Structure 1
Amino acid sequence: MLKIFFPLIMLIKLYKEWNTVLLALGILGFMMGLNCFHDFYMYSLGFSLGMDYLSFIMVYLSIWILFLVLLASSKIKEVNKFHFSFVSVNLILLLFLLITFSSTSYLFFYIGFEASLIPTLILILGWGYQPERIQAGIYMLFYTLTLSLPLLVSLLNIYFNSGSLVMQVSNLSVNSHINIWYIFMIMAFLVKLPMYMLHLWLPKAHVEAPVAGSMVLAGILLKLGGYGLYRVLIMFYMIGFKFSYVWVSIGLMGGFIISLICLRQVDIKSLIAYSSVVHMGLVLCGLMIFSWWGFMGAVVVMVGHGLCSSGLFSLSNMIYERMGSRSLMINKGLLSFMPSMAIWWFILSVSNMAAPPSLNMAGEISLIISMISWSDLSILGISLVSFFSAAYTLYMYSLSQHGLFYNSLYSCCSGKVREYLLLFLHWMPLNILILNTSLIMGICLK
């Protein structure tokens, strides 16, 4: 892992060279991609760091999204809005994320999990748009911190009982039947996921964050919740079976309610943020059922959602830079105003509703199979979530692209080459990886 960490630490020293950092992150992503040829369980071990199949995918996704974040945020460099600090904050955030995803110790994982909150908060407070960003940042901070202290207490309890905090070595053989440790352990991850009822910080944080903050939140930070559940639920599988029905019920019904909320949104970023809660509700269901199909589907949906949602946020930012507004009431008729961008709106919108050929479709099919095999009654919730997911995505696409653009009759504002490259680099892995889903869906089986 040090061959990834050392270049990244050296890049932080080069924070004044925007283009150099951008190119170096692209090369780092390419180097990371070459690691996919490993065919054994753990590799790059040392210094309490190491990667298995799931860690590899999450680390690769983190580097890729941060590369795209710098590509999307070039306006910060153009207007000279503290762009040196912006680069260093993003690189420090990436460093913490890599520590989180590649740690083999629960304590290391907890430190990285909590430390990633600080650069995200700086991104929202420093480069956000409205004064409400302070409230949004405090919401995010306190929601996460309030339920992270019980997680630390649980980890100390594990260390007291098993004498180790190394993943797959420590166990809760003494207290695994006690419900309170189970609740303490997973609540921090349910907030980060976020689960319905613990999601109120997410739309505020997304709406007030700059495009970099939104892309990082949707693309990587929400995956911390799923990844954390994946790592800790193995210790609680006996008690986890008893509570499965609670989490699946909340995931499906919460997804349905949030879908209805999406149909009332007029802010594009707010709508995309709420749709993240719907997708993560399905991921929660897949993880809590404890089946291979559920685990595989959850991983694939996390990767697909990270790419698709990040692409949609970058699209909404392109509109905001030109129009000065993200309101669906004002931004009508974009098909006439930005005709070449309409195809990207369409491609990413249909990927968001899990249409083929996208990773979201492969993941949701796997999740649906796992939920139906677990309980026939879940068909009702799945059908409601699937239908209304398509409904709010079509609502967003049709309301923004069609209609009369009344500001000026003959205006046309095409995209820049950088923006087309950015959108293509979101779309390509999202639709090409489905050609080899065995690479991703075979993670849990190896």
Structure 2
Amino acid sequence: MLLYMSTLILNIFMVNCWYVYQFMFSMMFMILLVKLNLSMSFSYIFYDFGLDFVSFGLVMLCIIIFNLMIMSSNLIKFELNSMFFLSMSLFLSLMIVMFFFSLNVFFMYIFFELSLIFMIIMLLGWGYQPERLISGFYLLFYTIFSSLPFFLLILYLYSFSFSFFFDYLSCFSESFLMYFIFMFSFLVKAPMFIFHFWLPKAHVQASVAGSMILAGLMLKLGGYGIIRFMFIFELGFNLNSYITYSFVIWGSVLVSLICLIQGDMKMMVAYSSVSHMGLCLLGMMSMSLFGLVGSYILMIGHGICSSGLFCLANIFYSRLNSRSFFMIKGMILYMPSITMFWFLLCSFNMSCPPSLNFIGEILILSSMIVYWGWSFIYFILVSFFGSCFCVYLYLYSQHGMYMYMFSSSTGEAREYLISFMHVFMLVCFILLIDLF
């Protein structure tokens, strides 16, 4: 699979055909599904790379998001640097897939940092406003500041076990400093409330492709890293996770309230990502099997759902040249078929049954109550305010008086296909829920 992706990158400047690469990504998805025997436990190990249950779903999510991202970046296809954009996308997808495949902590760290470089190139090269430079600096310095101590911690662990492989690493330290250094790197990427300031800035300034990758994949790197390292720092997690739990549980409520005062459509979806990833972190911090599985399911559900919402927001932005709720109104009269997809994705985002988010949140709630009995009050608040901002997003954009007097094009077949594929993939993952 890695050879397949590398060959795609090598051929990109020889064959100037946009949809060939999208087709090849679709083929990669089918190959991965057909080659794996889903009835058996996963242990496909080759040198420093391997695939198991945890990485399988996230690799699938990566291929789905990149496939849909290429479809949604149709306007870039007609630019002079379109092949450069495609090559950056493929490099970024390769780095993220290698990160999920890594069995070696050092390799994992390298791909974790390399993905940042290509993400910043995409943000600076194809962002919207000049403020994208500031957003790029936020993203760069947050990541650098958090990941250098993490690198030193990896070297410190190596001095004990003389190995970088996950199976050989173990740390029985009770030190809060070690726990914080390890968590800080992944909490910035997750992101946790307090460390989240880079996310809304990067989302708002990024192109639709950048927003889909940031929401669908880059946030999942933090969650995946915590799951992997949780078993190495087991004692440190048991003793110190209540501190992170406290910040996250209060931060999720505050971020849900912040969503309700947003006037920018992309800003609201970006802040809703912080709120949902906060729930994922709560499931992980509870240190139980239900919490871990619930967080994993919610990560996959949120990845596809938020990607779809950013895509729908871009469909409106490309026609009305605005993302403001005060300008985008009455779209149910103008694009009624897209309204159905808005309704479905907003419903999935607010965790209506039988969505993936609903199943994940039920498992997370049960683990939170076991960890701390009064957690359910905070969970009710997050869930209620989450439903409020999803209803607010849907009603403000679809209902009301249409503001624009000039005519413009209605939906294209490509846009309906992208919207349908987001919903279809969410339904497919619900049907495959027995995998988890």
- Do Structure 1 and Structure 2 share a fold, with TM-score over 0.5? yes
How far apart are residue 338 of structure 1 and its match? 1.1
SS in 2 for 1:136: helix
Q: Distance in 2 between matches of 1:243 and 1:413?
A: 55
Q: Distance in 2 between matches of 1:144 and 1:39?
A: 39
Corresponding letter in the other structure for 1:330: M
- Relative to the length of structure 1, the TM-score reads 0.95
Residue 186 of structure 2 corresponds to 189
1:28 aligns with 2:33: no
Residue 171 of structure 1 corresponds to 170
Alpha-carbon spacing, 1:81–1:400, altered in 2? closer, same or farther (3 Å): farther
Corresponding letter in the other structure for 2:397: S
Q: Trace 1:143-162 onto structure 2 (pairs within 5 A).
A: 143-162=142-161
Alpha-carbon spacing, 1:86–1:134, altered in 2? closer, same or farther (3 Å): same
Residue 414 of structure 1 corresponds to 410
Contact 1:215 1:313 in 2 (8 A): yes
SS in 2 for 1:197: coil
Q: Distance in 2 between matches of 1:115 and 1:6?
A: 18
How far apart are residue 43 of structure 1 and its match? 3.2
Residue 348 of structure 2 corresponds to 351
The alignment's C-alpha RMSD in Å is: 1.3
Q: Distance in 2 between matches of 1:190 and 1:231?
A: 14
Residue 118 of structure 1 corresponds to 117
How far does the alpha carbon of each residue in 1:244-298 deviate from its partner, in whole angstroms, 9 at most, with x for none? Answer: 3222222221111011110011110000000000000000011111100000000
Q: Distance in 2 between matches of 1:360 and 1:196?
A: 20
Q: Please, which moves more after superposition, 303-312 or 366-375?
A: 366-375
Residue 217 of structure 2 corresponds to 220
How far does the alpha carbon of each residue in 1:349-387 deviate from its partner, in whole angstroms, 9 at most, with x for none? Answer: 000000022111110111011101221110111011000
Contact 1:340 1:414 in 2 (8 A): no
Q: How many residues align?
A: 433
Contact 1:297 1:362 in 2 (8 A): yes
1:59 aligns with 2:29: no
How far apart are residue 17 of structure 1 and its match? 2.2
Residue 232 of structure 1 corresponds to 229
How far apart are residue 36 of structure 1 and its match? 4.4
Q: Distance in 1 between matches of 2:195 and 2:182?
A: 15
Q: Distance in 2 between matches of 1:35 and 1:259?
A: 41
Residue 12 of structure 1 corresponds to 9
- Relative to the length of structure 2, the TM-score reads 0.97
Contact 2:252 2:382 in 1 (8 A): yes
Q: Distance in 2 between matches of 1:362 and 1:49?
A: 30
Runs (5+) with no aligned partner, structure 2: none
How far does the alpha carbon of each residue in 1:118-159 deviate from its partner, in whole angstroms, 9 at most, with x for none? Answer: 110000000001000000000001001101001101100110
SS in 2 for 1:148: helix
Contact 1:42 1:50 in 2 (8 A): no
SS in 1 for 2:50: strand
Q: Please, which moves more after superposition, 60-69 or 205-214?
A: 60-69
Q: Please, which moves more after superposition, 112-121 or 56-65?
A: 56-65
1:207 aligns with 2:217: no
1:104 aligns with 2:100: no
1:312 aligns with 2:309: yes
Corresponding letter in the other structure for 1:293: F
How far apart are residue 115 of structure 1 and its match? 0.5
Corresponding letter in the other structure for 2:416: Y
How far apart are residue 160 of structure 1 and its match? 0.2
Corresponding letter in the other structure for 1:320: Y
Q: Trace 1:370-385 onto structure 2 (pairs within 5 A).
A: 370-385=367-382
How far does the alpha carbon of each residue in 1:148-187 deviate from its partner, in whole angstroms, 9 at most, with x for none? Answer: 00110110011001111101221124xx222211111111
How far apart are residue 61 of structure 1 and its match? 0.9
Contact 2:49 2:102 in 1 (8 A): yes
